[in-house]
C-alpha cells in the first residue's frame, strides 16, 4: 500500500479489487453500521433538525455568494487580533509557505492536528522533502502514518483497519518513530488508546510548532474553531510557540452567532454525539502578559480548486460541506468499496463530487468518480447542510460525457467529451432519432417483441460490461401502444 493517491486506477477497477477484500468489507460494515444507528438517535434528539439544516445551508450559501467580502473581513479581523494571514492559490504555494514558516522557527519537527486541507495538499510529504518531520497526532491519522497507509475516511482515516491490525501496526512501527508500544499490548481499544497517549506525549511536550486546519473561521471576530475528541488538537493548538493553520477559503462563517447552528449539527452528524469532547476557539494571539497559547499565529488560506468549484452554478454547493462524513457512513457504495477506491483524501459521496471539481476531470480516476454512486440519495438525506449530492453527480456525469465550458485554475476552458463514452453517446443519438420518428419506433418495437425468444441474456460488444452486472430488461410480448389500441385503453377487457 503506497502513501500516495497519484496514478490511481479508475474507480471501477479500484472498487473491484476492494470488494474482494473480505477483512476490509467486514471492518467497514461493522464501523458504518455502528455509527449509522447512533447518528439517527443523536439527530432524533433535536426536534428542530430540519430548521437547523436549512439554516446551515443558508448560512453557507450566503457566505459563498459573498465570499470575497468575507475573506477580506476575515483577513482584517485575524490581523487585528495579532495573526498573520497568507494566501495560497494552489497546493504547491501553500506547502512552500508552510515550509518557509517552519524553517524560520529553526525547528525540524512539527505536531499536527488532523486536517483535511493539509492532507489534500500533501503537506507532510512536502515538509519531509524539506527535512521537516510532521507528526500526526490524531489516533486514526497516527495509525495511517505509522502503517505507511492512505486515509480512507474523512473523520476516521483508519476506518479500514480493525483493532487487531492496529495493534500489529503499533507493535511493529511505533519504535521507529519514538516511544515503542508497551510490552504485551493487546487489541482492546482502551489499551491501544493508552499506547497512543504514551507515544505522543513526549512529542506534544517538546513541540515548538503546531500545524492545524480549522472547522470554522468567523469573519466578524477572526475566531478559528477546531472540533475534536482526543485532546491532541488542544495539545497542538496551545502548547507550541508557533501555530500555523491551513484552511480552505470556504470554511468561513460570517458571524459568531452562526456557530450556534454548526456546533449543534456537526457533532451529531459526525460522531453521533450531542457534543464532541473538545472544541477549541482562538482569536489571533493573546498579549504577552497573560499569554495563553502560541505567541505567533499564521493563517494560510488556500484556494487549490475551490474558486473553480465556485464558478460552477450546480457544483458550487459542494463547498457548503463541513466534513462531517455522515454521507460516507450511509453510502452503500462506500460501505462496499471502501475509501481508497475513490483515489482522493475525500472519499465517499462528497468525495465523488468534490475531487472531480477541485482537481478537474482530466484523470481517469476523476472522470470515473461521478459514476461511483447508485444515486440512491441517502447522502443527501443525512447531509447537515443539504448538499444535493445526486444532483451534482448527474451534473458531473453530463460534463464528463458531453464536455463543455468549465473553470480551471481560474480560467475558462472548453472540455472535450471524455473518451470511452462513445457507445453511450451513440445509443442516446439512436434513441433520440427513434423518438422523433414514431413510425420507425413502432416498427422497431414490434420487431423486438416478435424476436424476443432470440434475445441474448447479455449484450454483445461494447455493451457487454454494462450487462455484466445487470439483467437486461425483458421485452414484452406486445408493445404497450399496440395493447392500448387493441383494448381501447384497457376498457375492452379481453386480454
Partner 1 sequence: MSSRDLVLGRVRRALSDVQRDDTPYEQAVQRGYLREHGERSVEETVDLLAENLADYRAIVHRCADEELSELLMRLLAERGSQTVLVPPGLPSYWLEAADPTRVQDRGASTAHELDRVDSVITGCAVAVAETGTIVLDGSPDQGRRRITLVPDHHICVVRVPEQVVSSVPQALVRIDPTRPLTWISGPSATSDIELDRVEGVHGPRTLEVVLVRGRAGAEVAP
> Which residues, 220 to 239, sit near partner 1 by CB under 8 A?
221, 223, 229-232, 234-235, 237-239
Task: Measure the CA–CA gap between 63 and 71, rounded to whole angstroms.
Answer: 9
Query: Is 342:348 a contact under the CB 8 Å cutoff?
Result: yes
**Binding to partner 1 in span 132-161, by CB under 8 A:** 137-140, 143, 155-156, 158-159
Least Å distance, CB 415 to partner 1, is 17
User: Which residue among 162, 296, 363, 449 contacts partner 1 (CB under 8 A)?
Assistant: 162
**Binding to partner 1 in span 180-199, by CB under 8 A:** 189-190, 192-194, 196-197
Cell of 415: 472540455
Least Å distance, CB 176 to partner 1, is 20
Least Å distance, CB 116 to partner 1, is 15
Burial, 286: exposed, middle or buried (Cβ in 10 Å; 0-12, 13-18, 19+)? middle
Least Å distance, CB 443 to partner 1, is 46
Write the DSSP symbol of residue 369.
G
Least Å distance, CB 141 to partner 1, is 9
Cell of 152: 480512507
Query: Is 275:227 a contact under the CB 8 Å cutoff?
Result: no
Task: Measure the CA–CA gap between 100 and 405, rounded to whole angstroms.
Answer: 37
Site track for partner 1 across 438-457, x = CB under 8 A: --------------------
CB nearer to partner 1: give 408 or 467: 408
Residues 6+ apart with CB under 8 A from 149: 1, 3, 143, 158, 161
Q: Which uninterrupted H or E stretch holds 469?
A: none
CB nearer to partner 1: give 195 or 387: 195
**Binding to partner 1 in span 259-318, by CB under 8 A:** 259-261, 263-264, 271, 273-283, 286, 290-293, 301, 303, 307-308, 310-311, 313, 316
Cell of 87: 494566501
How far is residue 145 CA from its own chain's centroid? Answer: 19
Least Å distance, CB 454 to partner 1, is 52
**Cα atoms in the 13 Å half-sphere on the side-chain side of 470:** 10
CB nearer to partner 1: give 4 or 411: 411
Q: Taking the chain, what is the end-to-end CA distance rounded to the nearest angstrom?
A: 62
Residue 37 main-chain phi, psi, to 5 deg: -65, -40
Task: Measure the CA–CA gap between 351 and 370, rounded to whole angstroms.
Answer: 9
CB nearer to partner 1: give 29 or 450: 29
> Quick one: angle between helices 163-177 and 139-146, nearest 10?
70
Burial of 23-40, coded b for 16+ CB within 10 Å and e otherwise, reads ebbebbeebbeebbeebe
Q: Does 131 bind partner 1 (CB under 8 A)?
A: no
User: Which residue among 20, 205, 461, 494 contacts partner 1 (CB under 8 A)?
Assistant: 205
Task: Measure the CA–CA gap between 218 and 81, rounded to whole angstroms.
Answer: 12
User: Which residue among 31, 134, 181, 209 contacts partner 1 (CB under 8 A)?
Assistant: 31
CB nearer to partner 1: give 209 or 365: 209
CB nearer to partner 1: give 3 or 277: 277
Q: Which uninterrupted H or E stretch holds 261?
A: helix 259-270
Segment near partner 1 (CB under 8 A); pick from 257-265, 350-358, 385-393, 437-445: 257-265
For residue 26, give Cα distances in angstroms to 18, 32, 141, 189: 11, 10, 21, 18
Segment near partner 1 (CB under 8 A); pick from 44-52, 120-128, 367-375, 393-401: 44-52
CB nearer to partner 1: give 132 or 218: 218
Task: Measure the CA–CA gap between 270 and 327, rounded to whole angstroms.
Answer: 9
For residue 303, give Cα distances in angstroms to 49, 94, 168: 31, 9, 38
CB nearer to partner 1: give 90 or 128: 90
Count of residues binding partner 1 (CB under 8 A)?
103
Residues 6+ apart with CB under 8 A from 215: 225, 226, 227, 251, 262, 266, 322, 323
Least Å distance, CB 307 to partner 1, is 4
**Binding to partner 1 in span 11-30, by CB under 8 A:** 27, 30
Least Å distance, CB 175 to partner 1, is 20
**Binding to partner 1 in span 59-118, by CB under 8 A:** 59, 62, 65, 67-68, 71-72, 75, 81, 86-89, 93
Segment near partner 1 (CB under 8 A); pick from 116-124, 202-210, 347-355, 438-446: 202-210
Query: Is 322:307 a contact under the CB 8 Å cutoff?
Result: no
Least Å distance, CB 358 to partner 1, is 13
Amino acid at each position: 500500500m503506497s502513501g500516495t493517491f497519484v496514478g490511481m486506477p479508475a474507480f471501477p477497477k479500484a472498487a473491484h479489487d476492494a470488494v474482494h477484500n473480505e477483512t476490509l468489507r467486514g471492518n467497514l460494515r461493522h464501523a458504518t453500521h455502528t455509527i449509522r444507528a447512533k447518528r439517527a438517535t443523536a439527530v432524533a434528539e433535536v426536534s428542530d433538525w430540519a430548521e437547523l439544516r436549512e439554516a446551515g445551508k443558508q448560512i453557507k450559501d450566503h457566505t459563498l455568494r459573498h465570499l470575497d467580502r468575507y475573506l477580506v473581513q476575515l483577513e482584517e479581523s485575524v490581523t487585528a487580533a495579532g495573526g498573520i494571514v497568507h494566501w495560497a492559490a494552489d497546493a504547491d504555494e501553500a506547502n512552500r509557505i508552510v515550509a518557509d514558516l517552519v524553517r524560520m522557527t529553526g525547528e525540524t519537527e512539527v505536531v499536527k492536528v488532523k486536517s483535511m486541507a493539509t492532507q489534500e495538499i500533501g503537506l507532510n510529504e512536502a515538509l519531509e522533502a524539506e527535512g521537516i518531520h510532521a507528526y500526526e497526532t490524531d489516533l486514526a491519522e497516527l495509525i495511517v502514518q505509522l502503517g505507511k497507509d492512505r486515509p480512507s475516511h474523512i473523520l476516521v482515516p483508519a476506518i479500514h483497519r480493525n483493532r487487531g491490525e492496529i495493534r500489529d501496526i503499533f507493535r511493529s512501527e511505533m519504535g521507529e518513530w519514538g516511544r515503542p508500544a508497551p510490552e504485551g499490548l493487546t487489541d482492546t481499544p482502551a489499551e491501544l488508546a493508552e499506547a497512543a497517549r504514551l507515544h505522543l506525549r513526549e512529542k506534544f511536550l517538546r513541540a515548538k510548532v503546531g500545524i492545524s486546519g480549522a472547522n470554522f473561521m468567523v469573519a466578524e471576530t477572526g475566531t478559528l474553531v477546531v472540533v475534536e475528541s482526543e485532546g491532541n488538537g488542544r495539545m497542538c493548538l496551545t502548547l507550541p510557540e508557533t501555530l500555523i493553520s491551513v484552511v480552505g477559503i470556504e470554511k468561513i462563517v460570517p458571524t459568531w452567532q452562526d456557530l450556534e447552528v454548526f456546533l449543534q449539527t456537526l457533532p451529531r452528524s459526525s460522531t453521533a454525539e450531542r457534543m464532541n469532547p473538545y472544541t477549541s476557539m482562538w482569536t489571533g494571539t493573546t498579549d504577552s502578559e497573560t499569554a495563553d497559547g502560541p505567541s505567533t499565529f499564521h493563517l494560510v488560506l488556500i484556494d487549490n480548486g475551490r474558486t473553480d468549484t465556485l464558478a460552477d452554478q450546480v457544483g458550487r454547493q459542494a463547498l457548503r460541506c463541513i466534513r462531517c462524513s455522515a454521507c460516507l457512513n450511509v453510502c452503500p457504495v462506500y460501505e462496499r468499496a471502501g475509501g481508497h477506491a475513490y483515489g482522493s483524501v475525500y472519499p465517499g459521496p462528497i468525495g465523488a463530487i468534490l475531487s472531480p471539481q477541485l482537481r478537474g476531470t482530466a484523470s481517469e480516476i476523476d472522470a470515473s468518480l461521478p459514476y461511483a454512486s447508485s444515486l440512491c440519495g441517502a447522502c443527501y438525506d443525512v447531509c447537515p447542510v443539504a448538499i444535493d449530492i445526486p444532483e451534482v453527480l448527474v451534473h458531473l456525469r453530463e460534463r464528463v460525457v458531453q464536455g463543455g465550458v468549465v473553470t480551471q485554475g481560474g480560467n475558462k476552458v472548453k472540455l472535450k467529451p471524455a473518451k470511452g463514452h462513445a457507445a453511450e453517446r451513440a445509443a442516446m443519438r439512436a434513441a433520440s432519432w427513434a423518438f422523433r420518428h414514431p413510425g420507425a419506433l413502432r416498427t422497431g418495437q414490434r420487431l423486438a417483441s416478435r424476436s424476443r425468444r432470440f434475445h441474448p441474456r447479455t449484450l454483445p460488444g461494447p455493451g457487454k460490461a454494462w450487462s455484466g452486472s445487470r439483467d437486461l430488461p425483458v421485452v414484452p410480448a406486445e408493445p404497450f401502444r399496440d395493447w392500448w389500441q387493441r383494448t381501447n385503453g384497457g376498457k375492452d377487457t379481453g386480454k
